[in-house]
Amino acid sequence: MSAISLEEYLSTVKIGPRQYHNKAGILSQTGGFCKTLNAKRVVISGGVKARKSVASALHSSLEKAGIPYVEYEFVGESSIENIEALNALIDSFNADLVIGVGGGKSIDTAKNSADRHNMPIITIPTVAGTCSCSSPLSIEYTNEGIYSRDYYPANNPNIVLVDPELLIHSPIVYLKSGILDSLSKWYEGHESIKGSSNADMFDKMALGISDYLFEQIMEKAEDAILANKAGKINEAFTDILNQIFFVTGVIQALGVKAVRNGIAHSVHNGLTVLPESHHLTHGEKVGYGILVQLLLREGESDTYKEYLSLCKKIDYSPLMEAMGLHIQQLEIHKIAEKVVSDPLMKRKPFDAIKSEDFEKIIKRIENVQG
């Protein structure tokens, strides 16, 4: 096991994946990429649908390169049970490389297992929901989908393969989710760096990059969503994929000390206590967390209004009620308790925020009395 501690994680400067490719048809070169990593036996890990969507290009490329492979059927959460089952397959097949295919939870599981084996990983995102394919972080959940902890792999993924032809046909909810999750880096970064005692030049670089990401998303998100709806790649779509997969991963990697997840992601983690929230994507919950953060920290400011207008443009409504969750006082109390139990909420500058503060804001958003 080569996971590193939080302290080591914070003191190690990482940038992004060693290689990043965004090109139609790139999966047909996977076998060659495996060879550059000296791989001889490979485990492909991903859900049934995700593996099916890449099967013909991926399998024929590996076969052409003479690399034997087996597949792990990922179902459910990035949980210890999934990680251990994948570990067992890696061991029994004597694999020396993992290919993680799918969305955030599936890729997080693959990154986790690869790190525990000290072996390289190639990631192939089949939905644009998060930056998991290039980030140096794997999040563990219980089998029930409740957030349990962050796991810090020693390295970023080695090679990321993005095929826009594949992603243009993926469900729009994931692109929306990826846009919101990426945007959270800007909102959270500017908030968390303020009270941080250990921000350094790398964090400042991450914050600068997050400004660029913010501009790009505000300018291009709507066109990217329209492209996804029409199933036709345009420049905005390609650019937004790069923002979600690469730029966000770089911000995450460079800004670990002070430009890091803050309130919005803690609210996301809080929401996971509700079983009914598990059908929502990561970004839908993070998008809600951005709204909570903005109201908590600055009220109905111009930034808040600008955020709501972006939400409208991408057809996202940051309201639990609109996402099909009818939450009442008791649930709000549970969410708020979970939010403040988050390790990041216990650090400066968030440690003074109380669970009652969250309760108040969520009640206000959802219009719950009492």
- Beta partners for 44? 71, 99
Q: Provide the terminal-to-terminal Cα distance of the chain, rounded to the nearest Å.
A: 48
Cβ 303 to Zn ion shortest distance, Å? 20
User: For residues 267 and 361, which CB has a smaller minimum distance to Zn ion in the complex?
Assistant: 267
CA–CA dist 44, 55 (Å, integer): 10
Cβ 104 to Zn ion shortest distance, Å? 8
Query: Which among 182, 113, 108 has a CA at the least distance from the CA of 138?
Result: 108
Tokens, residue 322: 């609109």
User: For residues 61 and 177, which CB has a smaller minimum distance to Zn ion in the complex?
Assistant: 177
User: For residues 95 and 240, which CB has a smaller minimum distance to Zn ion in the complex?
Assistant: 240
CA–CA dist 197, 208 (Å, integer): 18
- Beta partners for 140? 149
Cβ 339 to Zn ion shortest distance, Å? 15
* Nearest residue (beta carbon) to Zn ion: 181
Cβ atoms within 10 Å, residue 8: 11
DSSP strand E in 89-213: where? 97-102, 121-125, 138-141, 147-151, 159-162
Cβ 131 to Zn ion shortest distance, Å? 7
Cβ 265 to Zn ion shortest distance, Å? 6
For the chain, counts of helices (H) and of strands (E): 15, 8
Cβ 271 to Zn ion shortest distance, Å? 13
User: For residues 97 and 267, which CB has a smaller minimum distance to Zn ion in the complex?
Assistant: 267
Cβ 282 to Zn ion shortest distance, Å? 6
User: For residues 120 and 289, which CB has a smaller minimum distance to Zn ion in the complex?
Assistant: 289
Show Cβ contacts of residue 314 under 8 Å, excluding neighbours closer than 6 positions: 176, 179, 221, 222, 225
User: For residues 31 and 178, which CB has a smaller minimum distance to Zn ion in the complex?
Assistant: 178
User: For residues 51 and 257, which CB has a smaller minimum distance to Zn ion in the complex?
Assistant: 257
CA distances from 258 to 16, 139, 217 (A): 17, 19, 22
User: For residues 140 and 181, which CB has a smaller minimum distance to Zn ion in the complex?
Assistant: 181
Show Cβ contacts of residue 92 under 8 Å, excluding neighbours closer than 6 positions: none
The contact set with Zn ion (CB under 5 A) reads: 181
CA distances from 249 to 18, 130, 260, 274 (A): 12, 9, 11, 28
Cβ 268 to Zn ion shortest distance, Å? 7
Cβ 261 to Zn ion shortest distance, Å? 7
User: For residues 62 and 263, which CB has a smaller minimum distance to Zn ion in the complex?
Assistant: 263
Show Cβ contacts of residue 244 under 8 Å, excluding neighbours closer than 6 positions: 128, 130, 131, 175, 178, 179, 181, 182
